[in-house]
């Protein structure tokens, strides 16, 4: 297996994998929107995307991480937002290989940590992450507030 950092040269491949990832999480298929999102991330360098290739050079997965800053530790860390492996490659060590790669990559890069979320129902992913030394958050409680998009914000009359 091999992992390569993505550039716009891999845009179409990553866009298809990203669309499949969104479908996995019960979102409607929308390849044009997926492509536009990934293209913007690559052009603006908003995220770091890595493509996983099997031994035959076939794309089998990807990861997308966003930089953030830990003000208490005074260092950058990365949030692993997306990790996806195609169905035919699952349970064959592909996700573990990709996770080990990004851990080594960001350790060399001087990152303070890697942080991720996964669905409470995704026990396979939870088992993988815990087997790699990730610890379930026990100290902090996370809150979310969904924000209206500008078209949904009511206007005063």
CATH of residue 127: 3.40.630.30
Least confident segment among 27-31, 111-115, 139-143, 151-155: 151-155
**Residue 3 three-state SS:** strand
Asked if 55 contacts 97 with a C-beta cutoff of 8 angstroms, the reply is no
3-state secondary structure (DSSP) of residue 110 = coil
Q: How many helices (H) and strands (E) does the chain have?
A: 4, 5
Beta carbons of 47 and 66 less than 8 angstroms apart: yes
* pLDDT for the residue 17: 97
157 domain residue, yes or no: no
Interatomic CA distance for residues 121 and 101, integer angstroms:
25
Per-residue pLDDT at 155? 54
Q: Count the Cβ atoms, other than its own, within 10 Å of residue 115.
A: 16
Q: Does any domain span residue 14?
A: yes
What would the pLDDT profile of 104-138 be if each residue is shown by its tens digit?
999 999 999 999 988 888 898 899 999 999 998 88
Number of domains in the chain: 1
- Name the residue range of residue 129's domain: 2-152
């Amino acid at each position: 297996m091999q992992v390569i950092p993505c550039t716009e040269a891999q845009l179409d491949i990553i866009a298809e994998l990203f669309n499949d990832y969104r479908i996995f999480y019960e979102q409607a298929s929308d390849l044009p929107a997926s492509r536009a999102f990934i293209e913007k991330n690559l052009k603006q360098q908003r995220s770091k995307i890595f493509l996983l290739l099997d031994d035959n050079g076939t794309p089998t997965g990807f990861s997308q991480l966003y930089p953030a800053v830990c003000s208490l530790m005074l260092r950058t860390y990365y949030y692993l937002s997306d990790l996806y492996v195609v169905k035919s490659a699952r349970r064959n060590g592909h996700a573990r290989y990709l996770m080990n790669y990004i851990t080594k990559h960001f350790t060399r890069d001087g990152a303070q940590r890697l942080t991720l979320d996964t669905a409470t129902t995704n026990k396979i992913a939870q088992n993988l992450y815990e087997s790699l030394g990730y610890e379930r958050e026990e100290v902090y409680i996370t809150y979310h507030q969904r924000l209206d998009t500008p078209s949904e914000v009511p206007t005063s009359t």
